Structure 1
Amino acid sequence: MNTAQAQRAQTQRDHVATILRSLDHPDGSEDAVIERSWRRCIDRFGLDPAAPSPPRYVPDRTLREHQDQADALIQVARAGVEQLYRQVTPLDYVVLLTDARGIAVQFLGSRDAQREHQRTGLYLGSDWSEEHAGTCAVGTCIQERVPLTCHHSDHFSAHHIRLTCTAAPIFDPDGQLLAVLDISAYQSPESKASQTFALQVVKHYARMIEDAYFLKRYSGYHLVCLDRSREFVQINRRYLIAIEEDGTLVAANTAGRKLLRHHELPLPGPGEARPFRAWNIQDLLDAEIDDILDSQHYGDDRVRAFHTHRHHELHFATLIEPQRRRPASGQGRPHDASLAPLESLADDDPAMRDTLTRAARLRNEPINILVVGETGTGKERMARALHESSRRCDKPFVAINCAAMPESLIESELFGYEPGSFTGARSKGMKGLIAQADGGTLFLDEIGDMPLQLQTRLLRVLAEQEVLPVGASRPLKVDLRVVAATHRDLRGLIDLGRFREDLFYRLNGASLRLPPLRERADQDYLIRRLFEDLQAERGGQRVRLRGDAMSALLAYPWPGNIRELHNALRYALATCEGDEVVVGDLPEECTSGHLAHPAAQSPQGSAGTAPRPRRGEDPLQEALRRQRWNISAVARELGLSRPTIYRRMKRLGIVPPHQQDIP
């Protein structure tokens, strides 16, 4: 035994002695929460602090069941988990989100330390319940229902004394434990006080996730937001209370339940059967229900002040009104069914809603429209929606990609030609695309790539509303609505002499700008809508998009915008097995980013410790060996698709051995 090993063994013996001494002769020197946990580990769970305790991973199928049950939370928690990870990753922390039973259903950590994560148990699918892991931040948080730090020798098992772990509980609107948010690190100062800030950060993000879950679950109700500060009530939203139209209490977040109990409204505790709806918001606030519901429309800041009945405390209130789908006919403002094609393009993204509002006003106006946006942002879809929502909807929509059409053919294709106009022309001539759009909409995609000489002819068409086919002596009158689109800077092209300024002003009667997908607030809506559209197109068995896949999709920056998203979803539907798309079914580039989840499955196929890798062996080769070169099993283990496994094997030069060579 070398010096380091001897020192480590002595540290473990000292740790065990400290635990036993503390339990035999409690002197109050240890944290009471930690001491209670140590006693549970021995008296209730029969654990031995000196016994080896390698990490326990649940089987793949069990992990999927836990993720399915936590699916709604995983989707809501995604943004908070990733923001927290960005805060703590410079300090080499990992982030775990576990369910109420201590199973890690979401994980973020450095890919460079993946083996260390797996070896220590800080990885997806690990079981951190006190029953198996002993005293630890997650398991003890589950037992005690309070935020805490488990630092170095606070851990029961000597296997974990290098770690510092900080966790905070997340409660559902009924007060039941829903999940635990944890950050952990392998290296940290000896003093437990060094983790004070870590505890505050984790508590903050746990509360953010908890409140976001509450807001989503009760989005169909009036939500009363209260705070003791007028300046922060719109931002902080400390107390959240969901009410019916008549003021009946429906639910409250953790802080809101404490507030109600403080003012002597005996609400049901976790698991209790007393009805929450036995009380009204007017039992808390000295106000009429109409005053509360009118808070959203009161004053410049939409905040009203109310006193509580008991204790006469001043609280400032604002209201979040129920989320309802756009008004149907006869409800609220008149609903124009013709706007449906435009309305379907976005949900609640502010930039897109502004663009669609202007598009709705322009759809029947006799002016040309220029749609601007990055490649793949849906410019043609916008043009089609404008056409389908206009009075021209029963006339042709003709789309022309100015960048894809061969320059030698573009003139004849656009303007048509008379019989015998040139060698190879059809005997009866051809009606050009512009003439085919007569009465309807002509969509000119990538207009910035149109050759200069054709820009001149197009300008004449727009100015005179007539087209002269090749070889013809008399022009044809056309009734056109032109929608052009480009990802280029047309004003820059004008300065370079590559685009006509007069054509620009003809096309740019009004402009509509489409934001890139990475900047849109309604990505969730777009993903689900495209996913449903693709399923309807494919037919057959219905497939669901699981939370881990949705999290990866929402985390990806989408350089190819909606077009890339469309392709990724089509790929996932083609490669998924069973009735759900998981993160491993997505294209590799969607899951390989720094913040992407490293796997959708646990690092092994059954409970127990992962087999020790061979020295210098690639993780893929290790998995292939462990699964006896069963590609499907390896794909499930690593959370990747089978085509991705084959591509990586080819890139790394990994060749399957003959069956007799398999160990």
Structure 2
Amino acid sequence: MPTPLPALTLRQARLHLQEYGHCPSGIINERLLRSWQRSLAAGLQPVGGLRQTEHASGDELRQVLERNHELLSYSRPVMEYLFESVRDSQSVVVLADNRGTLMHTLGDAGFLNKAERVALASGASWHEDHRGTNAIGTALAETSEVEIHGAEHFLEHNGFLTCAAAPIMAADGSLMGILDISGDRHSGHPHTLNLVSMAVRMIENRLIVAGSKRQIRLHFHVHPEGIGTIAEAIVVLSEDGWIIGANRAALGLLHLGAHDLGAVQITSVLNVRLEHLLSQQNARAPQTITVHSHDGTRLAMQVHLDHSVLPAVSRRSTEAVATPYAAEDALSLLDSGDLRWRSAAEKTRRILDKPIPLIIQGESGVGKEFFAKAAHDSGPRCNGPFVAINCAAIPENLIEAELFGYQPGAFTGARREGSLGRLREANGGTLFLDEIGDMPLPMQSRLLRVLQERSVTPLGGGKTVAVDFALICATHCKLREQAEQGKFRYDLYYRINGLTVQLPALRERSDFQALTTQILRSLSPQQELHLKPGLLAQLAAHPWPGNLRQYSSVLRTAIAMLNPDETGIELAHLSDDIVEDLMLSAAANQAINPAVNPAMNATVNTAINQAINQTGATLPITQNLEQLSRKAIELALNSSRGNISQAARSLGISRQTLYRKINH
């Protein structure tokens, strides 16, 4: 529990908020300020007589209890256990529903009378609209753990309390209720909120198990011994493998949010097929198996499934295998597990048999042309030509002839037999225009005419020829912004912008380990290569401004450095400039934001020493922290192409801090 501010300071801040509509900056945290503002908006006044507050009648309370029967049933035993931990501490343990109505309380006899005088009893509403800032109401509003101490309460009438509350979430991500410990502010303990949070995890785990007995349920942890403990992760699956429920531990391990429930399949986050999971199910004694998440995390797992629903599950699984997306098309062969990449692929699949153009956005080197070729190979035009044109690589004076073709003798230097042009070459297949944002404006006009009329007239005259092709464009820039700046035609933008997908940069991808394995396999199919764990972590933390193109080149060089009997790539196998970049990047990030990981200093120093010993590279280890800080900012800004917010996130600091360091 952080050291609370003096009551006088908090009172003055509240008065300032009432009078001027804002608090002096830096006095209270943002969450408390939001709560005070909501309390004011509800018409509450910190001082003075209390207005009539909400309290459920006998019938209303009975309805609340009936509606929350399951929550009460699984919460009461945990509350009793929790109360034993705080007995004789002038405290009360409280369970509220998802509207802030108190349903059940356990407390010290000496404190209960005092608590009841502020309506801390069953039937009372502790919603912020009725009681102002308080742990129960504020936890409801923020959907997060909250601790409110003494004068932080908006109503001074409640200032004698210290309260810690945490929301109880259902398996589907909805809010079920709030568990709270309230006590005398003089007896507050720094571990109270942790106690409440652990109790909530116990309740949530029991509820998710009780509510999913006729569904597929996965229990997992990074350690086999963690299964069955309060720390275990639990996922609930539909019959065809969609994640429809999960506890917080599972969401954290799988890098998912509550909004992903019902929208993500288990195969999107684990390197395992549903049929394999079902084959491991054993009702008498669940077997512990090993699976891997797409970020490479090794997980111990048990599968639970009621045998009465196994036939239906097996039937749905068979049907799922027969769906078009389950087949291994060219896009799926590139898929190594990143959810953003997979989302782009799934959206693309839906338009491949429709006359809808595709724009692929992404930084240079993220694999836009690979994605475009895979989209072509996955669609109905896969037997037709795939014609790729880099609009930034063709000289401006030649691009018209390259695209539209020309008649014999159309211009000086033209081939005697003339040229079909790339647009006619793409007939019956796919035309891929890479870096279309760099196409000259006059050519944009001619391309627009082709797309409108679906015909091409070669340079030098001649017969107009009809063309039929699917159109895929790619760009590293935002075409809408280019159009707003007059650098790209709006009418062409609207013509080519059927579906736009964004491919993530390498530093943003969650599948770095799986992607590395995939690249190594393609570069060296004859032997199974791998990166040593320490090096993998360093490479994953690198910003990679050249993305996959740069990373593949680095791995290709490292493979060339291997001895015939070696299969593990180490730091010594990398080019000296990459070693220097890795060490400098790690040291610089630690210099600019040492709070991210206090143990990093030792790790960086060890890595630098290893690099010197293994490679003999001369590294700038004598640079002071200010120089390293400037270097970190330079690397982050280059990697984010000047995007301040993105650079700040990569450095683990706020935008304001980054602006301050830039201007320093």
Which interval holds the TM-score relative to the shorter structure?
A: 0.3 to 0.5
Higher relative contact order (CA 8 A, sep 6+): 1
TM-score by length of 2: 0.44
TM-score, normalisation: structure 1: 0.45
